[in-house]
Structure 1
């Protein structure tokens, strides 16, 4: 949370000849020059939408259809995994090879934005603040039997295409499950 102290932030649009970082620029940003924002914040911010640009891309200057981003999340159920017969080293190796092939296919199709596996939940640290005081708790935020084991962020035309990528990911992982969720913002090209 911010301190509540009004701060004026100035952002600059990158030079046209310079390569922009897609994580910090937007087609909604002003074409040139600084834009000032007054806000009660305690950290820096960048303009992500210009005036009149709605949450889902209204006011975009370009008319090309934008790719949407989806998270494909891999869920683990330790009880079900413990009850299943153990995987042989050959099966584990084949699964890793299948996941690598999935990753390569998604990269070649320009659908891959990011993907990674996660360490088990017992390695997590949960961060909270209460009355401005930092509270750290060893372990996951939620005590559940299932947990997030990894994820991919992909970009594709629509939910049907995302579901097809999820089917391929589930196949690579010997059946899944893979949860598909859209990201709240349209993907930036």
Structure 2
């Protein structure tokens, strides 16, 4: 199973406050444990929402909304992609994580859909297309 593990934004992260040297060191050690255990597939920090935008869809219309966005608790400051045997295993890893923010913070864990989760809606042709695109992405990453 694959999971997206999201570090929720705080007022500090939205204000552009960078992690301390100590936090970088602690998080680096944790990431190293994840990699050695074969859990971590990716992980990145995100700039504040003031440097981002949203695109709102309404039928065929598209509306761009520039950041910053008001609801800090709904924003993501960083993420990992992990491969774990279960949600419980992912939660156990999160519990070992250093607190990513100075003060209270939340980390959300969500399972990523796999092809088999879509049932008959993912036809053999669509599954083949998905596999071909994933293979192309992997090939492009190797360049």
Same fold (TM over 0.5): yes
Is residue 10–residue 105 contact of structure 2 (8 Å, CA) maintained in 1?
Answer: no
Is the partner of 2:26 in helix, strand or coil? Answer: helix
* Gaps in structure 1 of 5+ consecutive residues: 1-67
Pairwise mapping of residues 168-187 of structure 1 onto structure 2 (< 5 A)? 168-169=96-97, 171=98, 173=100, 176-185=105-114
Q: Which has the larger radius of gyration?
A: 1
Is the partner of 1:143 in helix, strand or coil? Answer: coil
Question: Aligned-pair distance for 1:184?
Answer: 2.3
Residue of structure 1 in register with 2:70 after alignment:
143
Return the alpha-carbon distance in structure 1 between the equivalents of residues 59 and 91 of structure 2.
43
Is residue 98–residue 172 contact of structure 1 (8 Å, CA) maintained in 2?
Answer: no
Q: Would you tell me which structure has more helix in proportion to its own residues?
A: 2
Residue of structure 2 in register with 1:60 after alignment:
none
Residue of structure 2 in register with 1:100 after alignment:
28
* Gaps in structure 2 of 5+ consecutive residues: 117-130, 132-143
Return the alpha-carbon distance in structure 2 between the equivalents of residues 123 and 108 of structure 1.
33
Pairwise mapping of residues 62-141 of structure 1 onto structure 2 (< 5 A)? 68-78=1-11, 81=12, 92-130=20-58, 132-139=60-67
**Count of aligned positions:** 111
Is the partner of 2:21 in helix, strand or coil? Answer: helix
What TM-score do the two structures reach when normalised by structure 1?
Answer: 0.50
Is the partner of 1:119 in helix, strand or coil? Answer: coil
Residue of structure 2 in register with 1:156 after alignment:
84
Residue of structure 1 in register with 2:136 after alignment:
none
Is the partner of 1:135 in helix, strand or coil? Answer: strand
Distance 1:76 1:97, change over 3 A: same
Is residue 69–residue 186 contact of structure 1 (8 Å, CA) maintained in 2?
Answer: no
Is the partner of 1:150 in helix, strand or coil? Answer: strand
Question: Aligned-pair distance for 1:143?
Answer: 3.3
Question: Aligned-pair distance for 1:130?
Answer: 4.2
Higher RCO (C-alpha under 8 Å, 6+ residues apart)? 2
